[in-house]
Amino acid sequence: MISPPHFFLRSYYTSLTTASHLAWDSIRAHKLRSALTLLGIIIGVASVVLVGAAIDGLGVYAADSTAKAFGTESYLVAQIAQVGRSTPAERAAKLRRNKRIRREDLAFLKESTGDQILYSPYRLRIEDVKRGNETFEGAAIIGTAAAISEIRDIAVVQGRYFTSQEERAHQNVCVIGYEITQALFPGSSPLDLTVRIRGLDFRVVGVQDKLGSVGGNSQDNQIYIPTDSFTRIFGQEASMAIFGKPRPETGLDLEAGLDVTRAALRTRFAVKPGEADKFDTLTPDAIRGFVDQILGLIKAIVIPVTMISLVVGGIVIMNIMLVSVTERTREIGIRKSVGAKHDDIMLQFLVEAVMLAAMGGAVGLAGGALMAKVLSLALEVNLPVTTTYVVLALVVSTLAGVLSGWYPASRATQMDPIAALRAE
């Protein structure tokens, strides 16, 4: 004898199996209509997956670009150093409050905290670079110390970075970026050859690894030269930026190293306890935080917009299911007359709507993942299909199927069997 719980489960399983067979038969009988019905869900799920991959890919790209352009454990000190835009009033207030960072300040930092922190000045100018009759316009000329290669983890794929000995000897040496190499030395090695900056020849000792762009600005048009050479070309500046990084042997992390530098500068600039710093600092975490804030805003706007296509797909399923209920009025009447219950009819049409949504979700997921892979290869970027957006797309598509199938299924259960049998 079957116990009541087992009987209930067996009865439910039978009803679900019957409803699934009927739903599948209906879908197969109207292949074109079913395919068109799926389009809304397919497009919606593919859009969510692809947009999610693009957003996550942008986050990975920004993190990688920040690490390449800024370093992982380095920080920047300057009169004004920030990410994002500031108003003219905010910038003017900082210029009034903050002190200019001069060579004397760098010397003070090296003397007072140089045993704990590696320092390098950082000066930048945009200038044309020449080699013979060829000109590379708008190169970023950067004046630094030899220590910048360790501070910012600068990857050199050919040759090396210039040394502190070359810097002390006032040699005109340089490390050039990928774009400059391709433009001025196509198909050949630039090592030990020269480029000309404002009439001065610089011997190329290294080629920087290809970095791409950060914030729309190319990182491959850079030329690193010693600070003294930079000063001979462009003269002294009113203020400079300083990069710092804790020495590995000290065991200090980025925040602790930054605190050492801040304390030294606060002492030099006579900042009283409780007063704000009279200089700006910038860390990779601050840049990543700003990027995450922008990506969060993009998610909050774009993801709900892409969900609209899933809502539209659900409405399409509802319309088709209402048509299906009307077409199968006689079938519903026959099933009711031979003993089909309210729940059996409800389950039949609800399962069909969910199956349509699930099929559309599966096809949309595969299509979105394939498009992300193709775009990754074509654009040479990483567009990861993450579990979060896959689950989000499938859950929403399934809910769309349930909600869109509920009303048509309810209408089917409310039909009078005698009136339904009379339908043509």
Q: Could you tell me if residue 81 is inside a domain? A: no
At 335-365, the pLDDT tens digits run: 666 666 666 677 777 777 778 778 888 888 8
pLDDT of 11 > 60? The answer is no
**Could you give the residue ranges of the DSSP H alpha helices within 80-142?**
88-97, 103-113
Q: Could you tell me if residue 311 is inside a domain? A: yes
| Distance between CA atoms of residues 115 and 111, nearest Å | 8
Query: Are 106 and 225 spatial neighbours (Cβ–Cβ below 8 Å)?
Result: no
Taking alpha carbons only, the member of 123, 125, 126, 128 closest to residue 198 is: 128
Same domain, 108 and 252: yes
Same domain, 270 and 295: no
| Distance between CA atoms of residues 327 and 309, nearest Å | 27
At 194-221, the pLDDT tens digits run: 999 999 999 999 999 888 766 567 788 9
pLDDT of 92 > 80? The answer is yes
Q: Could you tell me if residue 3 is inside a domain? A: no
Q: Could you tell me if residue 73 is inside a domain? A: no
| Distance between CA atoms of residues 204 and 158, nearest Å | 10
| Distance between CA atoms of residues 257 and 265, nearest Å | 13
Residues in the chain: 424
Q: Could you tell me if residue 223 is inside a domain? A: yes
| Distance between CA atoms of residues 193 and 34, nearest Å | 68
Same domain, 271 and 303: no
Residue 119: the pLDDT is 95
Same domain, 309 and 269: no
Same domain, 242 and 151: yes
What is the average per-residue pLDDT within 133-153?
92
At 166-177, the pLDDT tens digits run: 999 999 999 999
Residue 228: the pLDDT is 92
Residues contacting 401, CB < 8 A, separation 6+? 41, 314, 317, 353, 354, 355, 356, 357, 358
Same domain, 271 and 319: no
At 240-292, the pLDDT tens digits run: 999 999 999 998 999 999 999 999 999 999 999 888 899 999 888 887 777 77
Residue 296: the pLDDT is 81
**Structure tokens given for 406:** 């509920």
Q: Which domain holds residue 373?
A: 10-64+289-422
Residue 398: the pLDDT is 76
pLDDT of 3 > 60? The answer is no
Q: How far is CA 11 from each of CA 4, 16, 53, 355, rounded to the nearest angstrom?
A: 10, 9, 43, 21
Same domain, 231 and 341: no
Same domain, 209 and 266: yes
Same domain, 262 and 325: no
Residue 244: the pLDDT is 94
Taking alpha carbons only, the member of 255, 207, 346 closest to residue 73 is: 255
pLDDT of 72 > 60? The answer is yes
The total domain count for the chain is 2
| Distance between CA atoms of residues 191 and 189, nearest Å | 6
Q: Among 247, 278, 309, which residue terminates a domain?
A: 278
| Distance between CA atoms of residues 328 and 169, nearest Å | 92
Q: Could you tell me if residue 82 is inside a domain? A: no
Same domain, 134 and 226: yes
Q: Could you tell me if residue 84 is inside a domain? A: no
Taking alpha carbons only, the member of 188, 158, 163 closest to residue 176 is: 158
What is the average per-residue pLDDT within 399-414?
70
Flag the least confident range among 84-88, 101-105, 234-238, 305-309: 84-88
Highest average pLDDT, of 37-41, 46-50, 110-114, 376-380, comes from 110-114
Q: Could you tell me if residue 90 is inside a domain? A: no
Query: Are 242 and 159 spatial neighbours (Cβ–Cβ below 8 Å)?
Result: no
Same domain, 127 and 269: yes
Q: Among 278, 301, 321, which residue terminates a domain?
A: 278
pLDDT of 180 > 90? The answer is yes
pLDDT of 8 > 60? The answer is no
Same domain, 324 and 374: yes
Band of the pLDDT at 233, cuts 50, 70, 90?
Answer: very high
Band of the pLDDT at 299, cuts 50, 70, 90?
Answer: confident
Residue 94: the pLDDT is 82
Highest average pLDDT, of 184-188, 191-195, 311-315, comes from 191-195
Q: Among 278, 301, 319, which residue terminates a domain?
A: 278
